[in-house]
Amino acid sequence: MSENKTILDIRNLDISFKTHAGVVHAIRGVNLDLCKGETVAIVGESGSGKSVTMKAAMGLLDSNASVNSGEILYTYTNDQGVEKTVDLLKMSKKELRQHINGKRIAMVFQDPMTSLDPTMTIGKQIMESMFLHRKLSKDAAKARALELLQLVGITDAEKRFRHYPHQLSGGMRQRVVIAIALSADPDILICDEPTTALDVTIQAKILELIMDIQRKMKLSVIYITHDLGVVAKVADYVNVMYAGKIVEVGNVNEIFFEPKHPYTWGLLSAMPDMDTDDDRLYSIPGSPPNLLHEPKGDAFAARNQFAMTIDEKEEPPMFQVSRTHSAATWLLHPDAPKVEMPKELEARLARARKEVEKYL
């Protein structure tokens, strides 16, 4: 996708879950790549499979999950300085925990209260993975932990070091979680809805913090989110996910200014717009399909006002729009009737483009 080297490459991932109601086919062929130093966002509604994809990479899948096919290739430079590529799905849990999790790929979870241990001081929690992965001495670890606390914008690091999670506010806790994720110098940071549990004002600050750290530490970041505002702020590339599949992928400008998939149109239209006085918000009709009964044809067809007969029969392949941009919708087939995006959205995008010109 870009000149940088690909470090994480997910190919044709397919995962299903056995539940007592039947087999849920949660991930149905996902492809995704992440290049060094870049930010990729995965956008979708709850239940679209965005978290499951990343959990697979971390070896955190629940025991009722089975990986039917696919590979997750991770390229890294090992401790001896040799470049290696491994398939994360083929590694045992033990190997993953020892060599990958925390050390090379770290994760920031949604709820900072449940992802911290309430019985340990935050200093101890930050140092934990330094002892484990980097074999630092106690003094070195403490110095590094204080440094990290300052990096994530916690004042009074020395004092906070001895505090317990309940003594901190929500925004502070999320900063601590980020510090923990960074403690073993990972290559990849996966942020699973990092700001959903936080206020808008703190959300902006946390996102700016992650961006800043990313530049300083040359991290590659994957964001999982349902908020397009977050995506607009942080992402270089965007993957729009629906019902276990990626339906549109492109760089952030292509997704926001020239979206091709009707689902992306819907998502963009549903965002509250501060510049119009419309009385009604656009909403995508219906709700996402239940993957217990796998939909035939295009999974989005039932909610798509532009659906054609073929959408109910056959699943659309990815159609290439530009080098970086492709979308899975039959509307892009050369034989398809010409369908334009809804007028309101077009007006809005035109306004957005004009704003950019004015701004620059």
Partner 1 sequence: MTEPLLKVENLMQHFPVSRSYTVKAVNGVSFSIYPGETYGLVGESGSGKTTVGRSVIRLYQPTAGIITFEGRTISGKLDRETRELLRRDMQMIFQDPMASLNPRKKVADIIGEGLDIHKMVPSKTERAALIGHMLQKVGLSPEHAARYPHQFSGGQRQRVGIARALIMNPKLIIADECISALDVSIQAQVVNLMKDIQDETGCAYLFIAHDLSMVKYISDRIGVLHLGYMVESGSKEEIFSHPIHPYTRSLLSAIPHPNPEIEKRRTALVYDYATSGIDYAKGTDHLIDGTHHVLATPEELKRWL
| Residues making contact with partner 1 (CB under 8 A) | 45-46, 169-170, 199-205, 208, 226-233, 235, 252-253, 256, 266-268, 270-274, 279-284, 287, 352, 355-356, 359-360
Nearer to partner 1, 164 or 257 (CB): 257
Enter the tokens of residue 108: 């920031």
**Residue 27 β-bridge partners:** 15
Whether the Cβ atoms of residue 227 and residue 233 lie closer than 8 Å to each other: no
- Closer CB to partner 1, residue 44 or residue 123? 44
Shortest Cβ 264–partner 1 spacing (Å): 12
Closest to partner 1 by CB, 51 or 203: 203
Q: What's the min distance (Å) between Cβ of 235 and partner 1?
A: 8
Give, in order, the Cα–Cα distances in Å from 17 to each of 3, 14, 21, 34, 62. 37, 11, 10, 26, 9
Output 74 or 263, the one with its CB closest to partner 1.
263
Instruction: Quote the tokens at residue 307.
Output: 């659906």
Task: Give the nearer residue to partner 1 in terms of CB position, either 65 or 232.
Answer: 232
CB of 102 to partner 1, least distance (A): 29
Closest separation in Å from C-beta 298 to partner 1: 17
**Shortest Å, Cβ 54 to partner 1:** 18
